[in-house]
Amino acid sequence: MFLEIVDVFISGLINGSVYALMAVGLTLVYGVTKAFNFAYGSFYNLGGYFAWLLLIPLTVVGGYYSVFFLAVPFFFIVGYLLEKVLIAPLRKYDDWEMKVMMLTLGLSLFMDFGYQSVFGPRIKSLPSIIDGTVEIGKVVLFQQDIVIFILSVSGMLCFGWVLNNTRTGMAVQAVAQNPAGAQIVGIPKDFIFAATFAISTIMVGFGGILLCQKNFVDPMGSTDIMIKAWVITAFGGMGSIRGSLYAAFILGMLEAFVGWYFGMIHVQIATLTLLLVTLAIRPQGLMGRE
Amino acid sequence: MLKVDGLTKKFGELVAVNSLNFEVKEGQIYGIAGPNGAGKSTVYNLITGNYRYEGRIEFDGQDITGLPPYRIAKKGIARTFQVPEIFPSLNVQETIRVGSRFGARGGLDKKHSDEVLNFVGLEEERLQHAGLLNLLGKKKLMVGAALATKPKILMLDEPMAGSNAGEIADLMDLIKKINQQLGITVIIIEHFMKVLTELTETLLIIESGRMICCDRPEIVTSDPRVIESYLGDSYAEDK
């Protein structure tokens, strides 16, 4: 029993770390632009397909090393172009945040059905990043899980470092806190909006590469990820990066323990119950501002 | 130094600024006043590139019409807002350095930032969170962040709003110091006529986006059109 609980705890920790990596990106976009990107889950799938294309049909030299190396510029360009080509033209309208939500919802459906058209309706499986197990006492851990956890946490640390120690990171924080004030001290808001989308797309793309090894690449799987990301963002507090981190790990644990004790079919309803109860008691979420 | 020519802004059917012309000379303290809704803050928003508009704006001999706000800031135009716009999670020192890092030509200048901190009188609060400052502190910090961009011209939007007599005197001293010691041209929107008549050399009165009068303060405040549309008879009688 104890070993089972430890196993479930580790599973929750690993899922939570990847959810945190992904949700922080979504929160960042909301925090800076006040617009919600409903296509976020579809970019998670793009991560899965990106890795699958390179590893299986193209059998790229270097395996996952090449995948991660190429993923950074690829997802940066995709996110940057998404903002510049589709989102930025909407900002001339007064209700542009709503228009962005409508557009990204449409984009999500376009991408999901596009995956079906291009890659077929069947799920794809990715090879493990590493095989084998590690024994710590009586607890057996998959090396794949350890690597996923390390990479997710490293991704978040990189994100935190960029946000707090680079010129762009400081500008992102300034725009998130005060767009008008940021502009008058010389911060190019339009570039920061595009950079924010680019950074968040890198994060969700990495999340897709990491989790699709465990969960397969499913052309219609974006909805599940979008629900998770939305729950984490709202539960943690819209726009609160720290809140999203806490919420991601709480959700990861909740999923693991509910799935283990009650069965996987009850996981989604448990997470949504947690969200609704939290928002009923504390509408701004765990760490959101009133 | 700043030349505004035929400035017009329409929001749908509403003409917020209507064919406005004025010129601010280098080294001046230039006042703008008018009733609420006259379009004073809109003029600031147009000069700093927040809205598209008709007309032409020239600054320091260069046409800045249609430039985005961050490029206008880099040209040397800084502004403040009626409600202090600060970065609540940053401390006082960091807030001023944000202005220096992004707005000043040449990037972050820590020495200049520290000098600005002392200049606006916030050296003791340097590590305090900006969001925890009192109203006067927030106003000084906003001025400090603007000064950190090394501006040639500083546009203040109702800096005295919500201040008591002591704070108004404090802020007036600061504005004089900015103009005289730093040599920065200042434009000030204000409702307190005493502040405008004491500080400014030229005063522009606008109503419904149009210029009513523009001259030395003592002439403007005696102008019957200004008394009728803005100051009221009681001001003229008190005077």
B165 and B116 both lie in a single domain: no
- B31 and B118 assigned to the same domain: no
Closest alpha carbon within chain B to A166: B101
Q: Which of A178, A186, A188 sits opposite B87 (nearest CB)?
A: A178
Span B116-160, pLDDT tens digits: 999 999 989 889 888 888 889 999 999 999 999 899 999 999 999
Task: Tell whether B71 and B168 lie within a shared domain.
Answer: yes
Helices (H), chain B: 40-47, 69-75, 92-103, 110-119, 135-147, 165-180, 193-199, 217-220, 224-226, 233-238
Model confidence pLDDT, tens digit, residues A126-154: 999 888 888 888 888 889 889 999 999 99
Query: Quick check: B74 and A189 in contact, CB under 8 A?
Result: no
Instruction: Write out pLDDT tens, residues A217-251.
Output: 999 888 888 888 888 988 888 878 888 899 999 99
Q: Which of B149, B178, B197 is the endpoint of a domain? A: B149
pLDDT at A199 > cutoff 80: yes
| Minimum CA–CA partner of A188 in chain B | B70
Question: How many domains, chain B?
Answer: 2
Count of CA atoms in the C-beta half-sphere (13 A) of A26: 38
Q: Specify whether B155 is located in the same domain as B72.
A: yes
Which residues, 6+ apart, have CB-to-CB distance to A34 below 8 Å?
A: A97, A239
Nearest to B171 by CA among B135, B207, B202: B135
Asked if pLDDT for residue A1 goes beyond 80, the answer is: no
How far A178 CA sits from the closest chain B CA (Å)?
6
Contact yes or no for A178 and B74 at CB 8 A: no
ipTM of model: 0.73
Ramachandran region of residue A239, left (φ > 0), alpha (ψ -120 to 50) or beta? Answer: left
Instruction: Provide the residue range defining the domain that includes B127.
Output: 84-149
Same domain, B61 and B93: no
Whether A253 contacts A18, CB under 8 Å: no
Domain end residue (candidates: B149, B166, B184)? B149
Of B81, B85, B102, the CB nearest to A186: B102
Same domain flag for B10 and B119: no
Q: What pLDDT was estimated at residue A150?
A: 92
- The CATH number given to whatever domain includes residue B59 is 3.40.50.300
Look at B73 and A180 and tell me if their CB atoms are within 8 Å: no
Is B138 found in the same domain as B103? yes
pLDDT of B235 reads 66
- B161 and B59 in a single domain? The answer is yes
List Cβ<8 Å contacts ≥24 apart for A230-234: A230/A26, A231/A271, A231/A272, A231/A274, A231/A275, A232/A19, A232/A20, A232/A23, A232/A26, A232/A27, A233/A23, A233/A26, A233/A27, A233/A30, A234/A275, A234/A279, A234/A285
How would you write the pLDDT of chain B (239 residues) with one tens digit per residue? 899 999 999 888 888 999 999 999 999 999 999 888 888 899 999 999 888 899 999 999 999 998 988 889 889 999 998 887 778 778 898 888 888 888 777 777 788 888 999 999 998 988 988 888 888 999 999 999 999 989 999 999 999 988 888 999 999 999 999 999 999 999 999 988 889 999 999 999 998 889 888 889 888 888 888 887 777 766 656 66
Same domain, B104 and B191: no
pLDDT at A207: 92
> A187 and chain B: CB distance < 8 Å anywhere?
yes
- Identify whether residues B97 and B130 lie together within a single domain: yes
Same domain, residue pair B173 and B137:
no
- Taking alpha carbons only, the member of B28, B25, B43 closest to residue B189 is B43
* Shared-domain flag, residues B6 and B63: yes
Q: Per the CB < 8 Å rule, is A185 touching B146?
A: yes
Which of B50, B79, B85 lies closest to A178 in CB terms?
B85
Name the domain boundary from B92, B115, B149.
B149
